[in-house]
Structure 1
Amino acid sequence: MAKKSNIKQEIAPPVGFNLYQDKKNRTIYKHPFYHNAVYIPVYDYKTFELYRKRYILILSVFVVLFTMFTQWFQIPWWASIGITLLLWFFLEFKFFTFLKKQQPVKHFDPESYESYSDNFAKQGTKRILTKTILYLLVGILIVYNTYYSQYDSMYVIASWIVLGLCVLYALFQMVMLIKVTKRAKARN
């Protein structure tokens, strides 16, 4: 039988673009295309995070399917694109229905809520630096693996694009960290 723990695990609210916190510390998501804002309850944080990362998930599925189909099973490459598109439509539909089930925010004004930079500061410098270093390491390891495995030129180009995206994300994280620390010092 599992041992009960008295340690309560604190669930961190999601942080990112189009996410806001109100005065009651509730998470609000404003969809950029549908222009509606909804409350995201604490018990739905994990589901919401999965849907927010749907593009990364779809890209990962495409890479795995493309490699599997072309290298192992000799299935045409367009089959991996077709399956990936079906998965993408499915995840978009699920995300849309997820948002429709959430409580809408009446009279939403983004200026009156805590924004991305405010929530960014709550993550802490150590966590931000760790994420930045890990993204850079993932990009470098992908490029290294491409050359080590002697993939053809299309994979080499794709791996360098991934490294470029990792570097851009790391730079963005560092710029945001500098802005947030400057703003915190100015307030003190």
Structure 2
Amino acid sequence: MSRVQANPGLSGLNLYIDKKNRIIYYNPLVKKAVMIPKSDYRKFNMYRTRYLAVISAFLIMAILFEEWFHWPLWLAFVLSLIIYAGFEFSFYKFVNRLPDAPKFNKESCVHTYDLSIQPKDRTRAKVKIVLYFILGILLVVNAYQMNYDPSMLIMCWIAMICCFAYAGFTIWQLSRSTKVSR
């Protein structure tokens, strides 16, 4: 496995690098593996953020519909579901046009998370972990100091949990990158 390139260019869930340094996306729902050419990295990254885009669209529509137009919240939810369906259909078409990865075996490939933190970036990753923990704590402390209303307190607690989760994920990545670099 030492011949696997150091920086894959993409990393994420269900992304692997085979022995020929090709990035393979494995779709666990349809049990199909496809190769992602370098020319499609940007497009794949765009599709990878589709969930975040749908959540953001829902939040923006919910605020606009309720505050500006006085429309019901369920309308924002329904429109968000339509946007989600459009993204999923588009992603499905994109993945189906990619070349198949013949004889894909997860055990013989390296997960892209294992290579996402380079040895030179380990200190930066450790600083990021500490900063995310501090950010999460300070969000909640500030909310109590400023006497926020309960809904904002809940949002701050959720943000703190997200910060802690991302710090934990970075710790997990750091521990996995240590195993590969040995």
**Contact 2:117 2:125 (C-alpha < 8 Å) held by counterparts:** no
CA drift at 1:158? 3.6
Indicate the larger mover: 90-99 or 149-158.
Answer: 149-158
Q: What is the identity, as a one-letter code, of the residue corresponding to 2:46?
A: L
1:25 equivalent in structure 2: 21
Q: What is the identity, as a one-letter code, of the residue corresponding to 2:44?
A: F
The CA distance in 2 between the partners of 1:46 and 1:178, in whole Å, is: 27
Pairing partner for 2:36 from 20, 24, 40: 40
Does residue 95 of structure 1 match 2:95? no
1:150-161 superposed matches below 5 A: 153-161=150-158
State the percentage of identical aligned residues.
35
The CA distance in 1 between the partners of 2:79 and 2:145, in whole Å, is: 29
1:16 equivalent in structure 2: 12
CA drift at 1:74? 1.4
Indicate the larger mover: 168-177 or 88-97.
Answer: 168-177
What TM-score, normalized to structure 2?
0.78
Does residue 164 of structure 1 match 2:161? yes
Q: CA RMSD in A?
A: 3.1
1:71 equivalent in structure 2: 67
Indicate the larger mover: 28-37 or 115-124.
Answer: 115-124
The CA distance in 1 between the partners of 2:145 and 2:108, in whole Å, is: 51
SS in 2 for 1:20: strand
1:8 equivalent in structure 2: none
Q: Which runs of 5+ in 1 are unaligned?
A: 1-10
Q: Which runs of 5+ in 2 are unaligned?
A: 1-6
What TM-score, normalized to structure 1?
0.76
Aligned length: 175
